[in-house]
Amino acid sequence: MKKVHIIGIIIIAVAIGVIFVSLKNTSTYADFTEAIENPDREYHVVGKLDKNQPQVYEPQVNPDLFTFNMIDNKGVEKQVVLHKSKPQDFEKSEQIVLIGKMQGDAFHANDILMKCPSKYNDAKPQVN
C-alpha cells in the first residue's frame, strides 16, 4: 500500500471515531419520567414553572444554588436544583428548558434556557 492510502484510512478511522463520540455525548429532549429511568444521561427537559411552590435562592449562603419546582410537558412535577444563580425575570418565563440529570428525587440542572413573553406580541402603539 502507498503511504497516501494508509494516511487516508487513518483519517477516515479518526473521523468515524469522532462521529461516534459526538453522537454518544449529545443530550436529547425528554420528560422527567425518561430522565428518572436513565439517571446517568443528560437531558433537556421542557416545562413550566410551578408558581404555587416556593422558590429558594439564598445568595448569602450559596450564590450558585437555586431550587424551584417545574411541571414538564406531560404534567409530572419535580423539584429542580439549578447550580447557577437565579436568572433575571425568572417568574415571567413562559417556558423553561433545563439541561441536566436526575439525582434521586430532584433534577439537577447545569444550565437553563427560558422563553419569556415577547414585548412585541399584542403590542399596541402608545398615544402621547
d(CA 15, CA 18): 5
Whether 19 is covered by a domain: the verdict is no
CA distances from 85 to 16, 40, 62, 82, 111 (A): 39, 24, 9, 8, 10
Whether 58 is covered by a domain: the verdict is yes
In total, how many domains does the chain have? 1
User: What's the domain range around 93?
Assistant: 28-115
Nearest partner of 111 among 55, 64, 71, 76, judged by Cα: 64
For 11-57, the pLDDT digits (tens) are 999 988 888 776 655 567 888 999 899 888 889 999 999 989 999 99
For 77-117, the pLDDT digits (tens) are 999 999 999 988 888 888 999 999 999 999 999 999 988 77
User: What CATH number is given to the structural domain containing 96?
Assistant: 2.40.50.140
Amino acid type, 100: G
Q: Specify the residue for cell string 450559596.
A: 62
Neighbouring residues of 122: CB distance < 8 A, sequence distance ≥ 6: none
Whether 12 is covered by a domain: the verdict is no
